[in-house]
Structure 1
Amino acid sequence: MLAQDNKLLLIGQVTNLSKIPIRTIRYYESLGLIKSSKRTEGGFRQFSLDVLTRLAFIKRAQNFGLSLEEIGDILQVYDQGQVPCGEIQEKLEQKLLEIDRQIDQLLTLRSEIQGLLSGWKNTAHRQEHTICPNMQNAR
């Protein structure tokens, strides 16, 4: 009947199958991550079935912390007919290094907070030019 006969999906059908909101699909299209195949006479976007594979990949890559820009780079390699596994591996290795740096920063912060709290003294009186002496006088 409609788009199904031509193996094309309307944007609402893509949303139902992918569980990705229409607004997000339009945004991905504006970034060039996905492309509509054509439009109906009424101007509605139509997508080929492979859009579902791309959307699933985008969602999975985001779950691993990749940015939409990074995902776009990967999809460009794919669109050129190459398998982008090497690019994905490189980006994930960079992501691991970034996560390790964040963990180190958080552990340092945790240690500093623990040290501050271990010497915490509740002060009832207000001191001039000091909001909280526990924080401001700690070193």
Structure 2
Amino acid sequence: MLKIGEVATQSGVPVKTIRYYEALGLLQAADRTEGKFRLFHPAVIARLAFIKRLQSLGLSLQEVRECLSIYDRGELPCHDIKSKLEEHVADLERRIIELTNLRTELLKVLADWAIEPQPEPGIICPNLDPSIASQSKDLFPSQG
């Protein structure tokens, strides 16, 4: 059995994070010492590595918990993980399109930028007239 500090050292995960994961139900201490120190089974090191790997692939802790729940029921979570990763790829593709559109818009704004614009009544920055704002809403309808 490993104390929490040993788990932290071996896994590279801070003690505070291990406690947080335990509170979320991602980990479970196997036992406690008489002094109430947490004791973990050595297999927790592999579980922490798995958690870190899923997070590095973009899964949330809630998604990680769902995968671990499947595993804890004695099943392999591979199908569920694949499904979640496919969803993340689709989200990334949408975000890439949005960011590409934003980059195009920013380059257009900068290309049309007047070095010393003339003041206009009621216009805070003449380089950013209202027609540009309405174009941005067309590019990002979810933000409008």
Tell me what 1:79 maps to: 72
Q: Residue 128 in 1 paired to residue 121 in 2? A: yes
Deviates more, 1:126-135 or 1:35-44: 126-135
* Number of equivalenced pairs: 132
Shift of 1:132: 1.1
1:10-25 correspondence to structure 2 within 5 Å: 10-25=3-18
Tell me what 2:135 maps to: none
1:1-139 correspondence to structure 2 within 5 Å: 8-123=1-116, 125-139=118-132
Deviations 1:21-60 (A, max 9, x none): 0000000000000000011000100000111111000000
User: Contact 1:74–1:88 (CA<8 Å) still a contact in 2?
Assistant: yes
Compute the TM-score of the two structures, normalised by the length of structure 1.
0.91
**Aligned CA-pair RMSD:** 1.1
Shift of 1:138: 4.8
User: Contact 1:37–1:46 (CA<8 Å) still a contact in 2?
Assistant: yes
Shift of 1:136: 2.3
Alpha-carbon distance between aligned partners in 1 of 2:67 and 2:17, rounded to the nearest angstrom: 19
Deviations 1:52-86 (A, max 9, x none): 11100000000000000000000000000001100
Shift of 1:135: 1.2
Alpha-carbon distance between aligned partners in 1 of 2:102 and 2:58, rounded to the nearest angstrom: 23
Alpha-carbon distance between aligned partners in 2 of 1:64 and 1:74, rounded to the nearest angstrom: 13
Amino acid at match of 1:24: T
